[in-house]
């Protein structure tokens, strides 16, 4: 039976064999490119990244340590900033619901990091291939779209700098693919399937769980623009309704993470200014300059480093996209083009007070974003789809010579892949160049230091290191893991609203637990990230015991409701001799779980109902 199925799957004509061989060779080019770009990360496999990597490695290490060493869900981070929500942070806890969770539990941190980076590169390539397949049957043109998107210059610069949220852009083509299939505006692909609406929502939800702080809102806007323009060209509300349905499903599926994130953002809004601009000359450099390393300097860039702007794809891809934009017309191609150009206009930043970006930046979600050059990445993907549609029209006209023409074009795509890969490889040489901290991992006694002890300072950068403190089971007030308490945003005295905990070296530090009034004594007798046991002796009823962690409404106590005392966790004592267990759980976590289960139940109910009707027909 297997042999017969295989025989039926084999090509039955010379042209079919040519196309099959082209497909295999195209994927050889794609995988070869990914391997070439990321090969430097495999030279020494026990190293980690620097710059922003410390923050992201700290988030990943905390998940593993909390689960394996303390057998708890990673709700709270007690190690940085005097304690802050971990599950409620957009960029923290991102490996729990992800394909890479088993690898982080079973591998060393350096090895798991490499699995995640390599794996997301492949997932991005597959997604870009599927997205391009919506507009062309050519394996060669799909490969061109993949090599221009998946691991281009922007991808390499961002990942090398430690912006792991950029990996989540690898899910954007999947969202657009399933959305387009769910709308079903292309009759040649058959009627739309309801399951594609669910898949679209599921991938949007996955972007929440994996920390797509920039990719998620940009992808949502990309889908919204495409849907609105598509509704106009098809004169049907279906594209808008499909987008709303996928969005509703994504909200339900992401609720256990999304609701705590929204809760934290409402309490600690991340509002940043974004005056950055990009002129046309710099824009050309962004796409075509071969000098695209972490230390590169280019004119026309007025903020941040080159790693926030560079996106090398080369002149061949630029020319192909421009020609495709001029040539492409159609029910789906035109909406995709106008949506892509709209995103591109956002990438030029605040070149005028009434430009698209400063206007969009006034909306609540986008007030927390800056560096508008990031909009160019999803814009590139959409314009590559437009390019693919234009090439498809040319290939259709070639008739029976199409297969041979595709095979002839493949060396050109291979050259583009090598060109882009050569530039992308420049920064990846430095991606994992930092040795692991020489720290003995501990779960022993915990205390908070005001500053990272010198012996734990394994790297020097713009933000304090956190990974080494987590390994040593020490907390620090200095931190870079939580935007609301980040050192970068504090005043000259190191203060910021909501930061109430103190550390060794601060005159106000009174221990990890203490009684505010009287002669009572408090001591931590059992400690874990989400639960701390405090014993109190010699106190008077009504006195206040304080846990040296920043206040959050998710804290509770075994003897009653906790209170905010000078931005720390506290409880009034009913007696002088008490044992109190302080626990942390995001208030919206269980409502989120309930919404998730209700959404899953609704999907299953709808699926079974459709199947029942289909069986009766």
DSSP string covering 509-548, please?
---SEEESSTT-EEEEEEE-SSEEEEEEES--TT-EEEEE
Give the pLDDT mean for 529-549. 95
Give the pLDDT mean for 112-137. 97
pLDDT tens figures, 339-394: 999 999 999 999 999 999 999 999 988 999 999 999 999 999 999 999 999 999 98
Give the pLDDT mean for 274-298. 90
Q: Where are the beta strands (DSSP E) in 417-530?
A: 434-435, 447-449, 474-476, 513-515, 521-527
C-alpha distances in angstroms, 31 versus 38, 150, 236? 11, 11, 40
Residue 85 DSSP label: E
pLDDT tens figures, 509-535: 999 999 998 789 999 999 999 999 999
DSSP β-ladder status, 434-435 and 513-515:
unpaired
Looking at residue 111, its pLDDT comes to: 97
Looking at residue 304, its pLDDT comes to: 83
Please tell me which residue, 517 or 53, carries the higher pLDDT value: 53
Among 278-282, 315-319, 544-548, 591-595, the minimum mean pLDDT is found in 278-282
Is residue 597 scored above 70 in pLDDT?
A: yes
Two structure tokens written together for 236: 């049907």
The H-or-E segment that residue 198 falls in is: helix 194-209
- Give percent of the chain above pLDDT 90: 78
pLDDT tier at 12 (50, 70, 90 boundaries)?
low
| Beta carbons of 231 and 239 less than 8 angstroms apart | yes
Looking at residue 608, its pLDDT comes to: 86
Please tell me which residue, 568 or 193, carries the higher pLDDT value: 568
Looking at residue 3, its pLDDT comes to: 59
Give the pLDDT mean for 565-586. 95
Looking at residue 6, its pLDDT comes to: 56
Looking at residue 402, its pLDDT comes to: 85
Instruction: Work out the mean pLDDT of the chain and round it to a whole number.
Output: 93
Give the pLDDT mean for 120-130. 98
Residues contacting residue 585 through CB under 8 Å, at least 6 positions apart: 75, 530, 554, 556
Based on the number of CB atoms within 10 Å of its own CB, is 587 exposed (0-12), middle (13-18) or buried (19 or more)?
middle
Find where tokens 């009653």 sit. Answer: 560
Looking at residue 302, its pLDDT comes to: 66
Give the pLDDT mean for 79-86. 96
Looking at residue 1, its pLDDT comes to: 56
Residue 470, number of CB atoms within 10 A of its CB = 29
Looking at residue 613, its pLDDT comes to: 77
Is residue 328 scored above 80 in pLDDT?
A: yes
Looking at residue 190, its pLDDT comes to: 78
| Beta carbons of 87 and 260 less than 8 angstroms apart | yes
Looking at residue 315, its pLDDT comes to: 97
DSSP β-ladder status, 568-572 and 563-565:
antiparallel
Looking at residue 366, its pLDDT comes to: 93
Residues contacting residue 584 through CB under 8 Å, at least 6 positions apart: 75, 76, 530, 531, 552, 554, 555, 556
Residue 120, number of CB atoms within 10 A of its CB = 25
Give the pLDDT mean for 564-593. 96
Looking at residue 253, its pLDDT comes to: 98
pTM for the whole structure: 0.94
Distance CA 302, CA 282 (A): 10
Nearest alpha carbon to residue 331 among 186, 193, 179: 186
pLDDT tens figures, 115-124: 999 999 999 9
Q: Which residues pair with 582 in a beta bridge?
A: 532, 557
Find where tokens 């190191």 sit. Answer: 494
Residues contacting residue 57 through CB under 8 Å, at least 6 positions apart: 48, 49, 109, 113, 467
């Amino acid at each position: 039976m297997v042999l017969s199925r295989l025989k039926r799957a084999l090509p039955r004509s010379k042209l079919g064999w040519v196309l099959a061989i082209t497909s295999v060779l195209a994927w050889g080019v794609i995988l070869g490119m990914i391997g070439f770009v990321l090969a430097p990360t495999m030279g020494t496999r026990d190293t980690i990244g620097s710059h922003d990597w410390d923050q992201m490695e700290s988030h990943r290490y905390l998940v593993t340590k909390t689960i394996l060493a303390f057998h708890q869900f990673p709700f709270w981070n007690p190690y940085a900033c005097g304690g802050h929500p971990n599950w409620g942070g957009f960029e923290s806890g991102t490996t729990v619901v992800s394909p890479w969770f088993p690898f982080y539990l079973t591998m060393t941190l350096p090895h798991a990091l490499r699995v995640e980076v390599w794996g997301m590169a492949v997932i991005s390539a597959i997604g870009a291939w599927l997205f391009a397949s919506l507009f062309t049957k050519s394996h060669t043109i799909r490969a061109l779209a993949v090599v221009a998107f998946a691991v281009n210059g922007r991808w390499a610069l961002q990942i090398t700098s430690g912006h792991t949220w950029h990996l989540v852009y690898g899910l954007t083509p999947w969202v657009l693919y399933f959305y387009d299939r769910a709308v079903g505006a292309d009759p040649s692909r058959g009627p739309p399937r309801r399951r594609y609406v669910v898949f679209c929502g599921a991938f949007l939800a996955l972007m929440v769980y994996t920390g797509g702080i920039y990719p998620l809102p940009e992808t949502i806007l990309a889908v919204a623009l495409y849907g609105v323009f598509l509704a106009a060209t098809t004169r049907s509300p279906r594209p808008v309704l499909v987008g709303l349905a996928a969005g509703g499903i994504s909200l339900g599926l992401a609720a256990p993470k999304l609701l705590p994130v929204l809760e934290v953002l409402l309490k600690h809004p991340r509002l940043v200014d974004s005056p950055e601009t990009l002129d046309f000359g710099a824009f050309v450099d962004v796409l075509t300059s071969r000098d695209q390393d972490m230390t590169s300097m280019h004119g026309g860039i007025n903020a941040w480093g080159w790693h926030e702007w560079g996106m090398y794809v080369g002149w061949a891809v630029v020319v192909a996209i421009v020609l495709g934009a001029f040539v492409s017309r159609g029910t789906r191609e035109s909406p995709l083009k106008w949506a892509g150009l709209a995103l591109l206009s956002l990438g030029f930043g605040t070149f005028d007070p009434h430009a698209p970006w400063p206007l969009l930046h006034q909306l609540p979600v986008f007030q927390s974003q800056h560096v508008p050059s990031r909009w160019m990445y999803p814009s590139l993907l959409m314009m590559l789809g437009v390019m693919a549609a234009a090439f498809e029209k040319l290939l259709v006209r070639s008739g029976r010579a199409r297969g041979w023409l595709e095979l002839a074009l493949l060396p050109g795509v291979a050259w583009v892949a090598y060109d882009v890969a050569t530039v992308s490889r420049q920064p990846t040489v430095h991606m994992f160049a930092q040795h692991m901290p020489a720290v003995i991992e501990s779960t022993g006694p915990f205390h908070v230091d005001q500053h990272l002890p010198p012996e734990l300072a394994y790297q020097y950068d713009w933000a304090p290191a956190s990974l080494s403190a987590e390994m040593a089971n020490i907390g620090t007030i200095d931190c870079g893991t939580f935007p609301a308490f980040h050192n970068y945003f504090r005043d000259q005295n190191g203060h910021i609203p909501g930061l109430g905990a103190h550390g060794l070296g601060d005159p106000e530090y009174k221990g990890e637990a203490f009684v505010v009034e009287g002669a009572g004594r408090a001591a931590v007798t059992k400690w874990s990230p989400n639960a701390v046991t405090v014993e109190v002796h010699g106190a008077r009823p009504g006195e206040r015991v304080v846990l040296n962690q920043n206040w959050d409404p998710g804290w509770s106590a075994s003897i009653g409701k906790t209170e905010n005392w000078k931005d720390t966790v506290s409880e009034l004592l009913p007696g002088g001799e008490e044992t109190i267990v302080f626990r942390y759980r995001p208030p919206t976590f269980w409502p989120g779980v309930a919404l998730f289960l209700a959404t899953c139940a609704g999907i299953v109910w709808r699926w079974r109902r459709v199947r029942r009707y289909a069986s009766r027909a």
